[in-house]
Every structure is written in C-alpha cells, then in structure tokens.
Amino acid sequence: MSNLVYVLNGPNLNLLGLREPEIYGSDTLDDIAGMLEDRARDLALSIDLRQSNHEGHLVDWLHEAQAEGARAVLLNAAAYTHTSIALLDAIRAICTPVIEVHLSDPRSREEFRHHTYVGLAAVRTFQGKGARSYVEALEFVAEM
C-alpha cells in the first residue's frame, strides 16, 4: 500500500491566516503543511499538499490521486463542499478513499453550509478543530 496522501484545498484557503481568523484561525496553509509534514513523518506517510481556487483542478487532482496509487485524499473543498456535484462525481468515480476536512464546523454556520456534496461520498469527515482537523484526518488515514 502506498504511503502517499494527497491533501487538496479549495478556494480561498490560500488566504488562511488573513481571512476571517475568528472563523478559520490564524494558521496559514504553510503552517498546516508544516504540521502535516511533521505528523506524516511520524506515521511513515508522505503528503502532497495542493491548493486551487479552480474546481476543475480539484477534480483533476482527485483523478491523479487514484492514478498515482495514493493511499487517501484529505479534501477541504471549502465553498465547493456545498455546491459541487462535479467533486461529488469525481469522488464517486475513484477508488481512493476521500476524507472531508474543514477548519470550522459548517453545521454551526449559515444554513447553506449545512449541506455537503463532498460528505455524500467521503468515508469520514473531520471538522471544527482548526488545523487539528487535518492532523486528525491524517491519523485516521494511518489507521485505515
């Protein structure tokens, strides 16, 4: 089994640390990458962390994760979580397990954030713990 885990991040997550820190915290995406790299090393995993503001990139990367034989994908689709049937279809089209990740807890926010297309196909969701949501998701992958 591969030790590679894709960590895919959707729109506006490049602004972490600046964007609404009262909701998303003060950690930047680079901070999260550093935390994940450290934890991945402890778990004998490797990560490939990417971010895009474009839905099609995320779809392509999901396909790539399967083609590369990745062990799993951690996906924070951000706003696309609530809107993207394309991501839902891409997750259902691959055999690679996808774990949904959110810094905040969408269920405690605006009503439109309560529905998750990603969650319909993800094997598990980690949310509401800031950067720790990513770390817990990675630890879950190590136990799978």
Q: Is 69 exposed, middle or buried (0-12, 13-18, 19+ CB in 10 A)?
A: exposed
The candidate with the shortest Cα–Cα distance to 63, out of 117, 119, 138, 6, is 6
Local structure of 56: helix, strand or coil = helix
d(CA 144, CA 110): 32
24 is catalytic: yes
82 is catalytic: no
Structure tokens at 31: 């901070």
DSSP 8-class letter at 37: H
Structure tokens at 94: 């691959």
Q: Of residues 24, 80, 117, 134, which has the active-site annotation?
A: 24
Q: Of residues 6, 102, 117, 134, which has the active-site annotation?
A: 102
The candidate with the shortest Cα–Cα distance to 41, out of 143, 142, 144, is 142
Q: Which residues are catalytic?
A: 24, 102
